[in-house]
Amino acid sequence: MKKVIINCATNEKTLVDYTAEEVAQQEADAITSEEYQTNVENTRTQEANLKASAKAKLIAGEALTEDEANTIVL
């Protein structure tokens, strides 16, 4: 892969190859980003499940767990 380096004084553009360290860091960042997105999606799913469970229990007149109650507190 290549990157562009721009000299601000002369506005000269130069194409340079990424170093092995930069490639490794970019790959690590991509993995970290994917893990973060997975965690966000899992958290949203868990919150949605808690809300659905709380709603079903409220309709049925059953007691809520603390987590379920926390999802409906305004």
Predicted TM-score of the model (pTM): 0.63
Q: Specify the residue for token string 């973060």.
A: 36
Residue 74 confidence (pLDDT): 54
pLDDT by 10s per residue, the chain, length 74? 899 999 999 999 999 999 999 999 999 999 999 999 999 999 999 999 999 999 999 999 999 999 888 888 75
